[in-house]
């Protein structure tokens, strides 16, 4: 097991520049799809589907893990392929990768509206990610001197997300209604 973990830790998507080390990019991005599929399938098995036996659990896990890993691997391989064909590292490679991933999502969900919305969202996220990487933009918020007036409002102690209750709750009275 230790050898497998060492093998997986060596591969990351951004260890090498785009167009180099395709196995590293596929394994590095595929493990994120596998891990997120495992997490979502665990939640689905325990909270939503409430699987009764091992076969149902495996079916639910395969329903989530296989497509999510496939989408991540497809994105990595298509972006690598586009980069090696076009010999340029730009936004079009990521957009093409998200379109291929959208096709897998559509085959999985069988819902055209949802597929188009998810594909559009993934395309926007890929363009923003490539833009921050390509132009070396900062990923953190930089507050200028003219914008410092925004920060005190955010941290005011009287600012609450929940409104005050309309009436005082009486536990004793609450439980007597159900007896």
Tens-place pLDDT, residues 36-75: 999 999 999 888 888 888 999 999 999 999 999 999 999 9
Between 29 and 136, name the one with better pLDDT: 29
Q: How many domains does the chain have?
A: 2
Query: Do 98 and 38 lie in a common domain?
Result: yes
Phi-psi region of 17 (alpha: psi -120 to 50; beta: other; left: phi over 0): beta
For residue 139, is it within any domain? no
Q: How high does pLDDT run on average in the chain?
A: 80
Query: Do 68 and 111 lie in a common domain?
Result: yes
Predicted local distance difference test score (pLDDT) of residue 146 = 58
Query: Do 66 and 128 lie in a common domain?
Result: yes
Query: Do 12 and 50 lie in a common domain?
Result: yes
Query: Do 49 and 111 lie in a common domain?
Result: yes
Query: Do 102 and 33 lie in a common domain?
Result: yes
How far, in whole angstroms, is CA 82 from its chain's centroid? 22
Angle at 41 between CA 63 and CA 125, to 5 degrees: 85
Query: Do 41 and 125 lie in a common domain?
Result: yes
Task: Report the C-alpha gap between 137 and 97 in whole angstroms.
Answer: 22
Between 129 and 106, name the one with better pLDDT: 106
For residue 140, is it within any domain? no
Statement: residue 130 has pLDDT above 90? no
Query: Do 157 and 88 lie in a common domain?
Result: no
Statement: residue 7 has pLDDT above 70? no
Q: What percent of the chain has pLDDT over 90?
A: 40
**Paired tokens of 88:** 């340029």
Query: Do 126 and 151 lie in a common domain?
Result: no
Query: Do 111 and 43 lie in a common domain?
Result: yes
For residue 153, is it within any domain? yes
Q: Which domain range does residue 153 map to?
A: 145-176
Query: Do 56 and 101 lie in a common domain?
Result: yes
For residue 43, is it within any domain? yes
For residue 164, is it within any domain? yes
Q: Is residue 27 very low, low, confident or very high in pLDDT (cuts 50, 70, 90)?
A: confident
Mean per-residue pLDDT for 118-139? 82
Q: Is 165 helix (H, G, I), strand (E, B) or coil?
A: coil
State the pTM of this model: 0.71
Query: Do 39 and 112 lie in a common domain?
Result: yes
């Amino acid at each position: 097991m230790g050898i497998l973990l060492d093998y997986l830790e060596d591969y990351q998507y951004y260890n090498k520049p785009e167009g180099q080390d395709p196995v590293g990019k596929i394994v590095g991005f595929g493990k994120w799809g596998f891990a997120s599929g495992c997490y979502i399938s665990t939640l689905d098995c325990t909270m939503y589907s409430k699987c009764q036996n091992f076969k149902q659990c495996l079916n639910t896990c395969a329903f989530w893990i296989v497509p999510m890993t496939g989408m991540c691997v497809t994105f990595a391989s298509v972006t690598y392929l586009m980069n090696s064909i076009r010999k340029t590292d730009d936004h079009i490679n990521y957009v093409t990768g998200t379109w291929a991933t959208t096709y897998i999502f559509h085959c999985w969900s069988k819902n055209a509206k949802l597929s188009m919305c998810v594909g559009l969202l993934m395309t926007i996220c890929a363009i923003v990610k490539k833009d921050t990487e390509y132009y070396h933009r900062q990923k953190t918020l930089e507050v200028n001197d003219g914008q410092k007036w925004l920060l005190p409002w955010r941290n005011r102690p009287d600012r609450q997300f929940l409104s005050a209750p309309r009436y005082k709750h009486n536990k004793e009275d609450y439980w007597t209604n159900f007896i």
